[in-house]
Structure 1
């Protein structure tokens, strides 16, 4: 299965924040949308970075509560791993594992087209395994 199919199921809406937004505001966005990472983009199309809960926790541990008043561009990850809609879910799983990341933006011709999370990948794999199990069950019950 390809990433484009995953996006069709979950939708292509992407929550973004601006690079100069305060970290405290980014935390509010994460909480409001029940997400673990947000794309940082000045224009909503080009990816400037990604900021995850993990990025914020590390900054808090290193610099204390003053981080909440800082801008997100001071702590975001700027080397963002992305994928294409035609990337397979298996390739995406390997990428997420190799880079130890949980959110991968989907890019088409340099523009943001969606985000796939590890939760989306797990949901897809569970659905595929359930389908396979049902097919095998049906075959065993009615082989001809």
Structure 2
């Protein structure tokens, strides 16, 4: 299975981005509004300047409650691991495991086309396993 297959199976395929100069408070609002765990930081909506997750907010908020008015760029991760939509999901699972990340931007020819979470990968894998189980069950009951 390819990453694009997982992306196309998602209920929402649009990518919510936030500008680097937006405040962390605005970030929290977008995370809550869209019920997501991370946003791509992008000045133009198609490039990837960084990624910021709810974990980033919590870690900084614990140390500094004034961070809510700080720019997103002050808490974002700038060295972003990404993947191509044509790559295999197994490669993505390995990337997520090795680097302990939960959200990965999907790029096509260097432009942002999606975001995939560990939850998306798990849901897809469960679907594959259920399909295989059903196929085996059908095979066994046909004989």
TM-score band by shorter chain is over 0.9
Question: 5+ unaligned residues in a row in structure 1: which ranges?
Answer: none
**Does residue 3 of structure 1 match 2:13?**
no
Alignment of 1:4-23 (within 5 A): 4-10=4-10, 11-23=12-24
Q: Which residue of 1 aligns with 2:134?
A: 134
Report the alpha carbon displacement of residue 71 of structure 1 after superposing the two structures with TM.
0.3
> 1:9, 1:140 → 2: CA distance?
29
Alignment of 1:83-94 (within 5 A): 83-94=83-94
- CA shift digits 1:35-93 (9 cap, x unpaired): 0000000000000000001111111122x210001000011000000000111111111
- Following superposition, which runs of at least 4 residues in structure 1 exceed 6 angstroms of deviation? none
Q: Which residue of 1 aligns with 2:66?
A: 66
Report the alpha carbon displacement of residue 12 of structure 1 after superposing the two structures with TM.
2.9
Alignment of 1:1-144 (within 5 A): 1-10=1-10, 11-62=12-63, 64-143=64-143
Q: Normalising by the residue count of structure 1, what TM-score does the alignment of the two structures yield?
A: 0.96
> 1:115, 1:8 → 2: CA distance?
11
Q: Normalising by the residue count of structure 2, what TM-score does the alignment of the two structures yield?
A: 0.97
Q: Secondary structure at the match of 1:116?
A: strand
Q: Secondary structure at the match of 1:14?
A: coil
Question: 5+ unaligned residues in a row in structure 2: which ranges?
Answer: none
